[in-house]
Structure 1
């Protein structure tokens, strides 16, 4: 078994997770001799997750067999009907790398400078989000093309029959370095991992981390109050809304319960400070 685990590590394979019953194998014995294990599972590497971002692994019911069948399903998007979960419109996230971009600053300023928009905080934030998302889509595509162009320029300069001056090559390297730095910051924020030290950039590493994290964050289904598994979009909304409604609902605790909580809370302010 240790050799098998080492083989998985050497191949950089990781568990794909699952939906359904926990165990996939049983020895079918009665009483204390019964053994159940999760022996069968889906495995993949980071490159595979990058190519197939929307998938699900299901443990199917089985009769008369020792091992439970496993079904791997694919989708080009999250769909509540095919077992790959569902996905609503993306939440707006301000990209860390936007802060240094003058175009971003101009977009934000254009929204907030109109007098008729004064005091409309939420409306302005939503409008900024829409404009910045649209701008970023075009910006990121052009940025990737810029990186490819800079690499090509530098490659031609290094392979030229008549060597370019050191100053020209250095200038090309600096431009490529700046473009790669923006790309690194873009994927670092998505991967939520510590940034690598300067000189050790690897945007592919962060991209793979971000893709893996996206798969782990997928919401495929939830158990309701009765213990029933629910995957439909409507059912998931009801479960989530009911949970948080109950969570923040006042239960009118008694004075005794309030005092029991306050007894273990140490005061940081003295009577003289109050």
Structure 2
């Protein structure tokens, strides 16, 4: 470990501040064998930090691996939202939704215009419908992430570790 620290010093690399939970690796679903460590780090030179002063390094809350992902956003808090209408893109995953065919029927039959006009209007309706579905998914994801964060704050027990695994 001292060789690794010396290599960081030789390269002028410093630990980056982060947000999120303190550990990036976890193994063991039961308290008796659960281990949590911070194995994954973000490092950078002072020149880089000065070049990207608004960076944000985040330890994300879940993964399919025993290592939790870390996300480096070089814009961090400076992100600007653009208000542009998205071009229509058909998503194949829509076909898997139970309500998809009904959306098509309802919007196609309600329009008494030319085919290009119907397609344009249908595209707008599908985007609204998809946005609603995505908002529902994000709400559910936010609730699950909130529950995960609450569970991570508690002292681990077999039940808590089991619930964490189920949510993940």
Quick check: which one's strand share is greater?
2
Higher alpha-carbon Rg? 1
- In the superposition, the TM-score normalised over structure 2's length comes to 0.43
Q: Which has the higher contact order (CA 8 A, sep 6+)?
A: 2
